Amino acid sequence: MKNNSTRRSEASFLKWTVADALHVATHHWMPCLFALGLLFFMGVEYTLHMVPPSSPPFDLGFLATRPLHALLQSSPHLNTLCAALNTVFVGMQTSYILWTWLIEGRPRATISTLFMFTCRGILGYSTQLPLPQGFLGSGADFPVGNVSFFLFFSGHVAGSVIASLDMRRMQRWELAWTFDVLNVLQAVRLLASRGHYTIDLAVGVGAGILFDSLAGKYEDSKRNPPFTTKHTFTL
């Protein structure tokens, strides 16, 4: 009984003071903001009217890009041009990631991309979301030729994040910011063309960060003991 009483008296929250609360509020305002966000979205979640099975998914990004969607729908040539430019950007991502491995001998970005696309394939096949209403396809879009694709999650966005994170590690700041701006424009275009849901793009950002981190941990695990292979693939 004494041990249990001692443990209760040593509980961390029993030692909190008003000064501690003020310190948390002033020095750790971001977790406090997230705590308010938790309470707010609990209220939203438990009171909203759920989308019925017969209706299309509600997507805030689609509402925000209605004017752009109408513009692309009314101008097929502009839609094709945007798709072609987006495909060029995908080629830039791919070229940079392969360059870091084949030319610079740094495989982390390539490893993270392989991790990411494998996971994307598993998740995309496991839950196959319906094609958004009003989807504006183009033969110039990647993958070229109006072929089928997984909606969840966006490999376009995730690949750009992986490339941008590598650029930051190498202090290629201007190139990284350029990729970030192009990634934002890419996301807006994908929403406007109804090529992805908002959740696909948001998770794409998180996936890029996650798999870049996992690739770094993989490299660290192979350095102890040292792991090397011939030619340009070295860790």
Distance, CA of 29 to CA of 25 (rounded, Å): 5
**Does residue 216 form part of some domain?**
yes
If one counts the domains in the chain, the total is 1
pTM for the structure as a whole: 0.85
Does 49 qualify as catalytic in the annotation? no
Whether residue 25 lies inside any domain: the answer is no
pLDDT > 90: percent of the chain: 75
28 is catalytic: no
Instruction: Answer whether residue 227 is part of any domain.
Output: no
> Positive or negative, the Cα torsion across 94, 100, 106, 108?
negative
List all residues 6 or more positions away from 103 whose beta carbon is below 8 Å from its beta carbon: 232
Q: Is 30 within a domain?
A: no
**Percentage of residues of the chain with pLDDT beyond 70:** 90
- Residue 6 domain-assigned (yes or no): no
42 within a domain of the structure (yes/no) = no
In a domain, 215, yes or no: yes
- The residue annotated as part of the active site, out of 196, 212, 220, 231, is 196
Query: How far is Cα 176 from Cα 169, in angstroms, rounded to an integer?
Result: 10
Mean pLDDT of 81-94: 96
Candidates 200, 212, 220, 231; catalytic one: 200
Residue 53, in any domain of the structure: no
| pLDDT score for 154 | 95
What digits encode the pLDDT tens for the residues 101-135? 999 999 999 999 999 999 999 999 999 999 999 99
Range of the domain at 128: 62-222
Q: Which residue in 69, 156, 166, 212 is the catalytic one?
A: 156
196 is catalytic: yes
Tell me what pLDDT residue 97 has.
98
